[in-house]
Amino acid sequence: MTNAYRTSERALLVLEDGTVFRGRSYGAVGESLGEAVFSTGMTGYQETLTDPSYAGQIVVQTAPHIGNTGVNADDAESRRIWVSGYVVRDAARLPSNWRSEKSLDEELAEQNIVGIQGIDTRALTRHLRSAGAMRSGIFTGEAAEAPESDLLERVRQSSPMQGQRLADQVTAENTLTIEPADHGWDGEVLGTLVAVDLGIKSMTPRRFAERGIRVHMVPANTTLEQIKQLGPDGAFFSNGPGDPETATDQVEVLRGILRAGIPFFGICFGNQLLGRALGFGTYKLPFGHRGINQPVLDRSTGRVEITAQNHGFAVDAPLDGPVTAPESEFGRVEVSHVGLNDDVVEGLRCLDIPAFSVQYHPEAAAGPHDAAYLFDRFIELMTSTDSAARQKAGK
Please tell me which residue in 127, 216, 337, 361 is annotated as part of the active site: 361
In whole numbers, what is the pLDDT of the chain averaged over residues?
93
The verdict on whether 361 is a catalytic residue reads yes
The verdict on whether 311 is a catalytic residue reads no
Please tell me which residue in 77, 216, 268, 334 is annotated as part of the active site: 268
pLDDT, one tens digit per residue, over 214-272 is 999 999 999 999 999 999 999 999 999 999 999 999 999 999 999 999 999 999 999 99
pLDDT, one tens digit per residue, over 114-128 is 999 999 999 999 999
Q: Is the dihedral of CA 242, 172, 225, 228 positive or negative?
A: negative
The verdict on whether 363 is a catalytic residue reads yes
Question: b/e per residue, 250-284, with b = 16+ CB within 10 A?
Answer: bbebbbbbbebbbbbbbbbbbbbbbbbbbbbebeb
**Residue 67 and residue 255: Cα distance in Å, rounded?**
43
Please tell me which residue in 107, 245, 305, 363 is annotated as part of the active site: 363
pLDDT at 395 over 50: no
User: Chain centroid to CA 323: how far?
Assistant: 28
pLDDT, one tens digit per residue, over 352-379 is 999 999 999 988 666 677 778 899 999 9
Query: Which of 381, 365, 344 has its CA nearest to residue 263?
Result: 381
Q: How large is the average pLDDT for residues 271-284?
A: 98
